[in-house]
Amino acid sequence: MAHACGFELAGVVEALSSPDFARFEEWRAAGFAGEMDYLNDRRGDLRSDPRALLPSARTILCVGKLYQTSQRATAENTGDTRGWISRFAWGRQDYHDVMRERLQRLLAMIRAAHHGPMEAKICVDTAPLLERSYARAAGLGWIGKNTCLIHERQGSWFFLGEILLSIPLLTFDAPPPDRCGTCRRCIDACPTDALVPNGQGEWTLDARLCISYLTIEKRGESPENEPPTGNHLFGCDICQDVCPWNKRAPDTQEDAFQPAVFAPPLEEMAALSEEEFRAKFRGSPVWRAKYEGFLRNVARALGQSKNPDMKKPLERLAKHENAVVARTARKALRALPVIWLALTIITGRCLASDVPVSPGYDHFYNNEFDEALTFFESDLKAHPEDPQMFNHVAQGILYREMLRSGALESQMVSGNNPFLRRPKMEISDKDKQRFAYCFDQAVKISDEMLRKNPNDLEALAALSVAHGLKSNYLFLVEKTWIDSLKEATAARKANERIRELDPKDADAKLVYGLNEYVVGSLPFYMRALGSIGGFHGDRNDGIQQLEIVARHGVRNRYDAQVLLAVIYRRERDPKKAIPLLKELAARFPRNYLFRLEQVQMYSDAGDKKSALAVLAEVDDLRKARKPGYANLTAEKLLYFRGNLLFWYNDLPGALADLQQATQKAGELDLNTEVLAWLRLGQVEDLQGRHTEAIPAYREAIKVAPKSEPAVEARGYLSTPYHRKEKA
Ligand code: B12
Ligand code: SF4
Ligand code: SF4
């Protein structure tokens, strides 16, 4: 009957007092209920026994209704100009009404089937009933570490509802086993560490730290040290998004839950009048936050956005007639100089008028390093007391050089031992000196700041970045990897101090995560050596830390995404790299590398069609001389296509492209040139023409004798190349 009424889950349990009430008592005694009066006062006490709601109750019929739709988070709908509403509130109609109406239908069916007298009461969410406890006892699922009820096949995206019945039922269901096992993804992913252990070693939720509570239930202004709520406007789904039991969870068939509003533009939301809010959200669960609460959430999201264009709407909200909204917006504005100053480490997006505005990083991420450096140098002139300004210049110099020598391209990471085999980059003396000067100044000024205040977070951040850059420099330019690791360790130490002082800072996990991964990836003997020198690392932990920054970071988010894309490639996990690269390409449209890397990843993932489609898109952008693409040569793209066809065994196609690319080899950067010659030789060999292959290998060796492709080419001079059988 329950299924016929639209419920995917159903079960029955006796209407007795729940043994879990002790858990509830302990939970609220710990203060975890925050200001939710309906849990703290008499209405909370009523949860001790369902017969407080219906004295004649003998049975509880528990049902679950799915609400997940086919809509997913994508690069287009999760940009930094948009807010985010939780899945359970996407529908046009409030789930309470939908559930209630279906439960009424179910009750009518039960009444029709049961002929005698019967009392009943329908409950959905708001009734003082321990819903998850009874649903668990009725066999609807187990209670996960994220505290949600999870069903093995249906996941956890479902609402609960109940009918208390005065009739006894003959059979009762049993709770399923706990299937969380050793997993702790939800705990690690929660950005505010709201999932905490209770006295019995089980996980529970401190609602005061939970974004869902802070955006839905908490009234008035945010507490002084409120955890960051990111772009969440109503509720939070993170601990369910990461749950493996939701990976294959089915979507709802319910029309009323299909998304009406889910990722609204922040600027548009900030401009809503009370009437417009009513028209948009009346009837949706978002209504619960009320106009004041919703706009307060918008103000917070604007303040935590990484986008400079969000300052204007925030300033308008600071003048809002609602005092709570206006004060929240003013608080967010006051915090901006600090947030955006920190942000300049990576994005350079300083917005507040009393700190330097540097569009340099927009150029930086679009690979326009000359333009970026012009901005960074003038910022430095205006703020010579700020260590980060020196870091920006040093970073601009280093990355310009990396692009020039092809080191920004991911061949850098494709070898067996990628972090150690990069040929030295050639860098001019002038750039070398400027880099060294900027590094020294950044360290000197940060040290001075730390002498005055050892807990100065900005100085620690600057120190960490300076050492990180120096580590890269030593590795790529000087190729002194032990010194490079020492610098990486110094970066990590400064970072660990930030993590101690501000454990909630997701961004601080960037350097830590990278260090874990890089050191954890070194060959064993080097790691052993490293441990004498004091470095240690764990690859998986490193990846996990970077994933947290990529998802929840503010200032280091894009760096973490770039690093992860590179790492996923190295870990042979192209499917994970693709969405990241799409997001980066959308965010930094003038950086062709994000698109070319997509080509490679689609190819690695076996999706030749998509790889060729992205490549054609890049070629169109090049031909149209779109910004960022004008300097890309036709030869480079021919190499890319030839390489792709080579791996897909389309040898005539590969040959034509590679011949054309190498005809004007001068148009290729060094990295691509040596690879193009190597591939050309290999294609000839595969077609049984070793005599034609030899000159190509010789060219590869001549162009960059010490590079990995040249070493490989040397091997094929005497023994023609054969494709290895797939393992
Ligand atoms: C208050 C409340 C909140 C609060 C507090 C949440 C919380 N975890 O306690 C806030 C505002 C933070 C919240 C958030 C959300 N909520 Co809410 N919330 C409620 C409400 C009204 C009461 C929950 C409650 O009593 N909490 C007190 C604590 C102690 O209870 P509990 O965590 O459920 O734990 C009980 C049992 O699970 C059991 N238990 C706990 N651990 C263990 C371990 C073992 C081994 C065993 C045997 C038992 C056990 O004992 C406890 C006492 O009964 C219920 C509806 C209701 N009437 O029950 C909805 C409800 C729990 N929320 C719901 C939803 C959908 C959400 C959100 C997903 C919404 C969103 N996207 O933002 C989030 C999820 C956040 C999260 N990780 O829990 C659904 C959950 C459906 C499901 N599949 O689990 C419910 C059931 C509403 C409904 N009718 O559908 N919610
Ligand atoms: S809903 Fe969000 S903030 Fe709350 S516990 Fe889950 S992940 Fe943490
Ligand atoms: S993420 Fe892992 S630990 Fe958390 S609820 Fe899901 S299965 Fe359990």
Quickly state the pLDDT bin for 305 (edges 50, 70, 90): confident
Percent of the chain with pLDDT over 70: 84
Q: What is the mean pLDDT of residues 612-629?
A: 92
Exposure string for 163-186, b = 16+ CB within 10 A, e = fewer: bbbbeeeeeeeebeeeebeeeebb
Position 713 scores a pLDDT of: 92
CA 511 to chain CA centroid, Å, is 16
Quickly state the pLDDT bin for 26 (edges 50, 70, 90): very high
Position 293 scores a pLDDT of: 97
Position 129 scores a pLDDT of: 96
Q: How far is the CA of 182 from the centre of ligand 3 (A)?
A: 9
- CA-to-CA dists, residue 19 to 44, 48, 418, angstroms: 15, 9, 57
Position 132 scores a pLDDT of: 98
- CATH node for 633-727: 1.25.40.10
Residue 688 has pLDDT above 60, yes or no: yes
Q: What is the mean pLDDT of residues 280-296?
A: 94
Position 289 scores a pLDDT of: 94
Run of H or E including 11: strand 9-14
Quickly state the pLDDT bin for 345 (edges 50, 70, 90): very low
pLDDT in tens, 496-510: 787 788 766 655 666
Residue 450 has pLDDT above 60, yes or no: yes
Residue 237 is a catalytic residue: no
Looking at ligand 3, which atom is closest to the CA of residue 148?
5
pLDDT in tens, 145-157: 999 999 999 999 9
Q: What is the mean pLDDT of residues 184-208?
A: 88
Name the more confident of 395 and 360.
Answer: 395
Quickly state the pLDDT bin for 437 (edges 50, 70, 90): very high
And the tokens for 121? 């009461």
Position 474 scores a pLDDT of: 82
pLDDT in tens, 238-256: 999 999 999 889 999 999 9
Q: How far is the C-alpha of 262 from the C-alpha of 88, rounded, in Å?
A: 10
Position 340 scores a pLDDT of: 35
- Ligand 1: list residues with CB < 6 Å: 20, 23-24, 27, 36, 39, 86, 88, 124-125, 129-133, 143, 146-149, 156, 158-160, 202, 205, 207, 210, 212-213, 216-217, 235-237, 239
Residue 304 has pLDDT above 50, yes or no: yes
Position 567 scores a pLDDT of: 74
Q: How far is the CA of 236 from the centre of ligand 1 (A)?
A: 13
Q: How far is the C-alpha of 684 from the C-alpha of 693, rounded, in Å?
A: 5
Residue 726 has pLDDT above 60, yes or no: no
Nearest-CA residue for ligand 2 atom 2 is 236
Position 554 scores a pLDDT of: 61
Q: How far is the CA of 416 from the centre of ligand 1 (A)?
A: 48
Which of 57-71, 462-476, 558-572, 587-601 has the highest mean predicted lDDT (pLDDT)? 57-71
Quickly state the pLDDT bin for 224 (edges 50, 70, 90): low
Q: How far is the CA of 391 from the centre of ligand 2 (A)?
A: 35
Helix ranges (H only) for 58-170 are 95-113, 131-137
Residue 67 CB-half CA count within 13 A: 25
Closest ligand to Cα 204: 1
Residue span(s) of the chain under CATH 1.25.40.10 come to: 633-727
Q: Among 142-146, 328-332, 543-547, 597-601, where is mean pLDDT lowest?
A: 543-547
Instruction: Tell me which DSSP letter residue 155 carries.
Output: B
Nearest-CA residue for ligand 1 atom 25 is 130
Percent of the chain with pLDDT over 90: 50
Residue 537 has pLDDT above 80, yes or no: no
Mean of per-residue pLDDT scores for the chain: 83
Active site residue: 45, 49, 125, 607, which one? 125
Position 248 scores a pLDDT of: 87
Q: What is the mean pLDDT of residues 219-236?
A: 85
Quickly state the pLDDT bin for 680 (edges 50, 70, 90): very high
Q: How far is the C-alpha of 83 from the C-alpha of 245, rounded, in Å?
A: 26
Position 654 scores a pLDDT of: 96
Q: What is the mean pLDDT of residues 302-328?
A: 87
Q: What is the mean pLDDT of residues 314-319?
A: 92
Looking at ligand 1, which atom is closest to the CA of residue 235?
72
Residue 170 has pLDDT above 70, yes or no: no
Q: How far is the CA of 693 from the centre of ligand 1 (A)?
A: 67
Q: Given ligand 3 and candidates 142, 143, 146, which is best to mutate, with the most ligand atoms within 8 Å of its CB?
A: 146
